[in-house]
């Protein structure tokens, strides 16, 4: 562990890592985000820096019922054989690369784009951790990053930051357009090293 075996103290910030799962990074998966693998090392950097700085890490992941009964209607055809992407307990639902959930991390399971939709994420952040500033990494920017960011704005978090090099979309054009929109809605965009200057 990189925390000297101490849990993070109450922090004004939390890092939310969204959908950093094999089902979104595997090129053979129907949910693969074409730009995902290019940002994986930056996601890993963001997690490492957050832990070093005692910033809570919250993993927001999709885990679906094998029947697909909890999946968006337009995706249910992917679950007819009981082995759809990010099905609970399958390799597709596992974290990608070297990413792991450590002792003092938190995990939120969602079934829709936003990490706040029908989850206890707001309660965890505001009441449990005293968070006022959410920092988002993961995939993909026009869907789950954007939906989570917009809900965080609506819930009056003081600042919503998108890590532009630790997030990804299907193309650079989609990524840049969505980051522009999010900035226009009040989000802040930073690189991973710009988030904590002087860290590596």
Q: What is the pLDDT of residues 14-47, one digit of tens each?
A: 999 999 999 999 999 999 999 999 999 999 999 9
Q: Is the pLDDT of residue 107 over 80?
A: yes
Q: What is the pTM of this model?
A: 0.94
CB hemisphere CA count around 39 (13 angstroms): 33
What's the CA gap between 82 and 6, in Å, rounded? Answer: 41
List pLDDT tens digits, range 178-190: 999 999 999 999 9
What homologous superfamily does CATH list for 13-195?
Answer: Isochorismatase-like (3.40.50.850)
Predicted pLDDT of residue 6: 63
Q: Helices (DSSP H) in the chain: which residue ranges?
A: 22-25, 36-52, 121-122, 146-154, 172-184, 192-195
Domain ranges for the chain: 13-195
Mean pLDDT of 134-141: 98
Confidence of residue 67 (pLDDT cuts 50, 70, 90): very high
Radius of gyration (Cα) for the chain, nearest Å?
A: 16
Q: Which two tokens mark 94?
A: 């596992």
CA geometry: angle 132, 133, 138, nearest 5 deg: 140
Q: Is the pLDDT of residue 84 over 80?
A: yes
């Amino acid at each position: 562990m990189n925390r000297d075996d101490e849990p993070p103290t109450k922090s004004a910030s939390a890092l939310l890592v969204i959908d950093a799962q094999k089902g979104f990074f595997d090129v053979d998966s129907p949910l693969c985000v074409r730009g995902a693998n290019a940002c994986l090392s930056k996601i890993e950097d963001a997690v490492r820096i957050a832990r070093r700085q005692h910033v809570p890490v919250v993993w927001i992941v999709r885990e679906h019922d094998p029947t697909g009964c909890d999946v968006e209607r337009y995706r249910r055809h992917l679950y007819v054989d009981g082995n759809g992407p990010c099905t609970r307990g399958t390799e597709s639902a596992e974290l990608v690369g070297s990413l792991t959930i450590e002792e003092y991390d938190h995990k939120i399971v969602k079934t829709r784009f936003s990490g706040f939709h029908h989850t206890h994420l707001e309660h965890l952040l505001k009441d449990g951790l005293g968070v006022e500033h959410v920092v988002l990494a993961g995939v993909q920017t026009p869907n789950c990053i954007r939906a989570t960011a917009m809900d965080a704005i609506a819930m009056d978090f003081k600042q919503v930051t998108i890590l532009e090099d630790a997030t990804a979309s299907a193309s650079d054009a989609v990524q840049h357009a969505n980051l522009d929109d999010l900035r226009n809605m009040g989000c802040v965009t930073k690189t991973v090293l710009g988030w904590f200057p002087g860290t590596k």
